[in-house]
C-alpha cells in the first residue's frame, strides 16, 4: 500500500521519498524494481524514477518533504486484535524529527487502525515527542486505503471515493491539493470516522459475500442458480451486483484481519458484534460444503486422489493468507485423500505450509485424479477439458459445467 501510493503520487508530479528499514527493498525501489508483484507498479517506478527515491533515513525523508504517510503494517494478534507497535514506533521517530524541523509538516495515517487510534494514540505521541502542538505546529490526518491486492494501482488511480479525516483546516487544504487530479468525491470527515469508514467498508463487503453464500446454500437445495439471483438483486441500485459472487467464501489478509479486529475491540468494550460474528461463521463453514458435495460422489476419500485447482486467496496473486484452499486441504488430509494441487502463482508459498501434498507443473496434470475441486478462479482454468471428470466447483467456473459430473457449491 505504501509503495503503490508513493508510485501513484509520483505519477501526479509529486516528489516521493519512501522510507523502509529493509535495505533490499530500498535498493530495488532505487533501481526501479518492485519488491512485490502488483500489476503496473514496476512500470510506474520506471517511468517516474526521477520523482521517487527510497531510503532508511527518516530525517532526510521528513526534512525534504511536506507530508508523511504512515503506511506500516498492523498485523493481527492472537486474540484477533491488531498490533499497532509499528505505528507507534514510526510515530515517535517522525515526532523526534519534527522537533527539529522548522517548517509545518503534515502527518497522515494510512495504516488500518481501530477507530480512535489516530486521535488517542498517534496525536499524543506526536505532541509528546516533538514538544509541539498539533494544528499549530504540524498537521494530522487519517486517509484510509481501499486498494485491492493485484489491482491496487488501478484502484489507486481510479477510486470510487477518497476519504480524509483531518484535525485542522490546513491539513484539509493540503490533502485537497494532493488529490486535486482525482475526479471522484473527496469525503471529508473526522479522524475517527475515517478510521471507521475503512473497517465498516471491509466488514460490509465481507457481509455481502457471506450473505449471498447463505442465500446460495438455500439456492443449492432448491435447485436455483444463485448467480441469477445475484444478477436479479444487483439490478436494484440500493443493493448493487458487486461482491455478490457466491462460492467458498472470502480470504486474504484484509477481510479476516479487519473483521476479527473489530470483534476484538467490541469484546473489550462489552459490545456484541452480532452480524460480524455471523459473517465469519458462514465463511468458516463455506469451504467445507465443497467436501460434502464431493462425498456425495465419492463417499470414502481414503486413498483417493483429489485434484485441487487454485491455492491463492483470489486470482492474480500469490497470496495464500486465509485462502479457502487451506481448510479444504486440511479436511481432505484428515479424510485420508491424496492431494494433487496446482496454482499459477501461489505454489511456492503453499509448499511451505503443506509440504506433504503433490504440486503439479500444470493445471492439466491435476485432472489426472479421481475428482477435481476448483478453489480459485484463475483464467487459465477455463481452458481445461473437464469432460471426463467429476468437478466440484467453489468459484463458478462456467467452462467446467460440461464435466461428466458437475456440482457448484451454491448453484
Instruction: Please check whether residue 104 is in contact with residue 139, taking contact to mean a CB–CB distance below 8 angstroms.
Output: yes
DSSP state of 408: E
Selected binder of ligand UGA within 81, 252, 256, 408 (CB under 6 A): 252
Q: What is the DSSP string of 135-158?
A: TTTEEEEE----PPTTSHHHHHHS
Binding residues among 322-361 for ligand UGA as defined by CB under 6 A: none
Binding status of residue 283 toward ligand UGA by CB under 6 A: no
Of 206-235, binders to ligand UGA (CB under 6 A) are 209
Return the range that interacts with ligand UGA (CB under 6 A); candidates 140-148, 164-172, 217-225, 301-309: 140-148
Which helix (DSSP H) or strand (DSSP E) does residue 309 occupy?
strand 305-309
Question: Are residues 161 and 187 in contact, defined by beta-carbon separation less than 8 angstroms?
Answer: yes
Instruction: Give the nearer residue to ligand UGA in terms of CB position, either 130 or 143.
Output: 143
- Name the nearest CA neighbour of 116 among 188, 203, 190: 190
Smaller CB separation from ligand UGA, 51 or 226: 226
Give me the residues paired with residue 63 across strands: none
Question: Three-class SS of residue 227?
Answer: helix
End-to-end CA distance of the chain: 36
- The set of residues, in sequence order, having a beta carbon less than 8 Å from that of 238 and lying 6+ positions away, is none
Helix H segments across 163-190? 169-178
- For residues 406 and 392, what is the distance between their CA atoms, to the nearest angstrom? 6
Rounded to whole angstroms, how far apart are CA atoms 269 and 135? 30
> Which H or E element spans position 165?
strand 162-166
Per DSSP, the three-state class of 331 is helix
Binds ligand UGA (CB under 6 A): choice among 38, 149, 214, 343: 149
Residue closer to ligand UGA by CB (options 149, 393) is 149
For residue 254, the minimal CB distance to ligand UGA (Å) is 3
Hey, which residues between 292 and 321 contact ligand UGA (CB under 6 A)?
Answer: 313-314
Taking the least distance from each CB to ligand UGA, the nearer of 62 and 71 is: 71
Q: Is 251 one of the binding residues for ligand UGA (CB under 6 A)?
A: yes
Min CB(282)–ligand UGA separation in Å: 11
- Which entry of 18, 219, 254, 360 is annotated as an active-site residue? 254
Determine the Cα–Cα distance for residues 90 and 42; give it in Å rounded to an integer. Answer: 26
Starting at the earlier edge strand, list the strands of the sheet with 358-359: 358-359, 338-342, 305-309, 371-374, 390-393, 405-408
148 touching ligand UGA, by CB under 6 A:
yes
* 156 binding ligand UGA? (CB under 6 A): no
CB of 257 to ligand UGA, least distance (A): 8
The sign of the torsion formed by the CA atoms of 162, 168, 169, 175 equals negative
Binding residues for ligand UGA, rule CB under 6 A, total: 20
Closer CB to ligand UGA, 51 or 202, in the complex: 202
Q: How far is the CB of 58 from ligand UGA (least distance, A)?
A: 25
255 forms part of the interface with ligand UGA (CB under 6 A) = yes
Contact between residue 316 and residue 335 where contact means Cβ atoms under 8 Å apart = no
Is the Cβ of residue 97 or residue 329 nearer to ligand UGA in the bound state? 329
Task: Reply yes or no on whether 254 is catalytic.
Answer: yes
Least distance CB 129 / ligand UGA (angstroms): 28
Q: Which is nearer to ligand UGA, 46 or 151 (CB)?
A: 151
- Closest distance of CB 352 from ligand UGA, Å: 20
Specify the stretch interacting with ligand UGA by CB under 6 A; choose among 47-55, 89-97, 99-107, 139-147: 139-147
44, 95, 147, 320: which one binds ligand UGA (CB under 6 A): 147
Q: Please name which of 335, 338, 334, 328 lies closest in space to residue 305, comparing C-alpha atoms.
A: 338
Tell whether residue 146 is a contact of ligand UGA (CB under 6 A). yes
Residue 206 or 372 having the CB closest to ligand UGA: 206
Restricted to residues 189-208, the positions that interact with ligand UGA (CB under 6 A) are 202, 205
Which residues are designated catalytic?
254
User: Which residues lie near ligand UGA (CB under 6 A)?
Assistant: 145-149, 202, 205, 209, 243-245, 247, 249-252, 254-255, 313-314
Amino acid at each position: 500500500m505504501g509503495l503503490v501510493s508513493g508510485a501513484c503520487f509520483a505519477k501526479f508530479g509529486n516528489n516521493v521519498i519512501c522510507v523502509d528499514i529493509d535495505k533490499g527493498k530500498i535498493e530495488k525501489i532505487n533501481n526501479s524494481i518492485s519488491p512485490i508483484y502488483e500489476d503496473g507498479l514496476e512500470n510506474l517506478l520506471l517511468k517516474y524514477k526521477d520523482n521517487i527515491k527510497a531510503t532508511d533515513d527518516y530525517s532526510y525523508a521528513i526534512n525534504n518533504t511536506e507530508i508523511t504517510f504512515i503506511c506500516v503494517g498492523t498485523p493481527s494478534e492472537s486474540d484477533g486484535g491488531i498490533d499497532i507497535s509499528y505505528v507507534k514506533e514510526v510515530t515517535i521517530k517522525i515526532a523526534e524529527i519534527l522537533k527539529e524541523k522548522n517548517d509545518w509538516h503534515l502527518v497522515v495515517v494510512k495504516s488500518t487502525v481501530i477507530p480512535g487510534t489516530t486521535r488517542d494514540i498517534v496525536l499524543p505521541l506526536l505532541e509528546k515527542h516533538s514538544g509541539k502542538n498539533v494544528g499549530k505546529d504540524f498537521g494530522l490526518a487519517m486517509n484510509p486505503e481501499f486498494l485491492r491486492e493485484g489491482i491496487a494501482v488501478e484502484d489507486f488511480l481510479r477510486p470510487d471515493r477518497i476519504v480524509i479525516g483531518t484535525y485542522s483546516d490546513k491539513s484539509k487544504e493540503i490533502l485537497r491539493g494532493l488529490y486535486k487530479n482525482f475526479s471522484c468525491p473527496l469525503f471529508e470527515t473526522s479522524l475517527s470516522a475515517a478510521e471507521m469508514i475503512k473497517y465498516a467498508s471491509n466488514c460490509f463487503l465481507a457481509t455481502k459475500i457471506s450473505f449471498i453464500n447463505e442465500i446460495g446454500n438455500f439456492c443449492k437445495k432448491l435447485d436455483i442458480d444463485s448467480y441469477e439471483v445475484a444478477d436479479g438483486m444487483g439490478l436494484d441500485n440500493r443493493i448493487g451486483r458487486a461482491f455478490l459472487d457466491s462460492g467458498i467464501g472470502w480470504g486474504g489478509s484484509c477481510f479476516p484481519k479487519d473483521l476479527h479486529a473489530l470483534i476484538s475491540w467490541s469484546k473489550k468494550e462489552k459490545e456484541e458484534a452480532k452480524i460480524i460474528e455471523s459473517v465469519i461463521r458462514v465463511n468458516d463453514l463455506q469451504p467445507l460444503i465443497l467436501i460434502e458435495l464431493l462425498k456425495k460422489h465419492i463417499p470414502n476419500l481414503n486413498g483417493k486422489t483429489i485434484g485441487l485447482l487454485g491455492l491463492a486467496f483470489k486470482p492474480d496473486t500469490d497470496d495464500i493468507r486465509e485462502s479457502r484452499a487451506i481448510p479444504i486441504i486440511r479436511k481432505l488430509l484428515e479424510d485420508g485423500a491424496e492431494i494433487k494441487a496446482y496454482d499459477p502463482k501461489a505454489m511456492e508459498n503453499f509448499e511451505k505450509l503443506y509440504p506433504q501434498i503433490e504440486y503439479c507443473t500444470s493445471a492439466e496434470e491435476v485432472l489426472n485424479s479421481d475428482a477435481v475441486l476448483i478453489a480459485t478462479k484463475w483464467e487459465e482454468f477455463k481452458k481445461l477439458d473437464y469432460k471426463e471428470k467429476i468437478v466440484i466447483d467453489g468459484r463458478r467456473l462456467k467452462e467446467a459445467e460440461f464435466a461428466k459430473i458437475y456440482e457448484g457449491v451454491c448453484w
